[in-house]
Amino acid sequence: MLKPICLITGATEGIGRATAIGLAAKGFTVVLAARNAAKAEAVVKEIEAITGRCDAEYITADLRSLSEVRALSETFHRRYPRLDVLINNAGIFSAARIVTGDGFEATYQVNYLSQFYLTHLLLDALKHSNQGRIINLSSNAYSAGKFDPGNLQSEKRFSTIASYAASKLLMLMFTVELADRLRNTRVAANAVHPGVVNTHMLKSATGLFKLIAILATPFAVAPEKGAATSIYLASSPDVQGISGKYFTRCKEAAIKTAFNTPKNRELLWNLSMQSLRLAETLGG
């Protein structure tokens, strides 16, 4: 039996690291997509120590750069025959409006657009799997997010909370739309709320988010618990064929936002495709 192959973004700490370790323990070949090679190497060694096997590798890439996302995809295609699970886990808080070298606001690019792009670049590899699975890290913060086509990158006014919440809403809307467009394939896409997790990202929050983080910390769960739903969606036969849903605590949850409409999802899709200068590649 072929070992399933999983690529995880943001895999060197927090939820991503816990997800990588958990899936490697279940017999997956885990590929870490990471900015920092030293941190990635440390996680690879940790996985090898835990499993006793060489079940992990890494590819360096910074999601603030679309060219590095392309290079990540190209390297993956060269090394691996297929992709069974893609976990778009990476995420940032930004205390100020920072524009990347590609001309996009950083939270928007890292939390959403680059992972939208990576997903498209790896669709062929996912279609070579018997049951390809895409797992997108959203958050219940999506419920506070707004879909404003004229302000996707906080051009009008920047707020750390608003930009983060919007990015998680976009990730959720993308997941539902992607699942619909992949309905005639063997590839499923679902979104995850990992819970409030005690991670470096939570601890390093600034501004109003720092106050929220301080208040939330007593209720925050360990990264291993935060990773449980991603691991479940990646590995459980119970969710085979389930697509376009939102999960928390390993259970499907209702999506509660007025922005999640077919019209808005299609508009977001088209705007994202235009930003990336992508041609339609789905179906089949």
The pLDDT profile of the chain, 284 residues, written as one tens digit per residue, is: 689 999 999 999 889 999 999 999 999 999 999 999 999 999 999 999 999 988 899 999 999 999 999 999 999 999 999 999 999 999 998 889 999 999 999 999 999 999 999 999 999 999 999 999 999 999 988 999 999 999 999 999 898 889 999 999 999 999 999 999 999 999 999 999 985 544 444 445 455 455 444 444 444 446 678 899 999 999 999 999 999 999 999 999 999 999 999 999 999 999 999 999 997 656 54
- When computed from its CA atoms, the radius of gyration of the chain, rounded to whole angstroms, is 17
SS3 category, 8 = strand
Pair of tokens at residue 173: 């809307």
Which CATH number fits the domain 5-276, given the four candidates 3.90.470.20, 3.40.50.720, 3.40.50.300, 3.40.50.2300? Answer: 3.40.50.720
Do residues 64 and 40 lie in contact, with contact meaning Cβ atoms separated by under 8 Å? Answer: no
pLDDT score, position 280? 67
- Which alpha helices (H) appear in 195-280, and where do they start and end? 200-203, 207-216, 223-226, 228-235, 262-276
- Structure-derived torsion over alpha carbons of residues 65, 79, 37, 56, reported in degrees to the nearest 10: 130
HSE-CB at 115 with a 13 A cutoff on CA atoms is 33
pLDDT score, position 226? 85
User: Could you confirm whether 108 is annotated as catalytic?
Assistant: no
Please state whether beta strands 246-248 and 188-193 pair in parallel, antiparallel, or not at all (unpaired).
Answer: parallel
Q: pTM to 2 decimals?
A: 0.91
Q: How far apart are CA 102 and CA 69, in angstroms?
A: 12
Burial of 38 (0-12, 13-18, 19+ CB in 10 A): exposed
pLDDT score, position 212? 46
- Structure-derived torsion over alpha carbons of residues 34, 18, 39, 189, reported in degrees to the nearest 10: 0
Catalytic residue among 58, 164, 232, 246: 164
Q: How far apart are CA 222 and CA 11, in angstroms?
A: 15
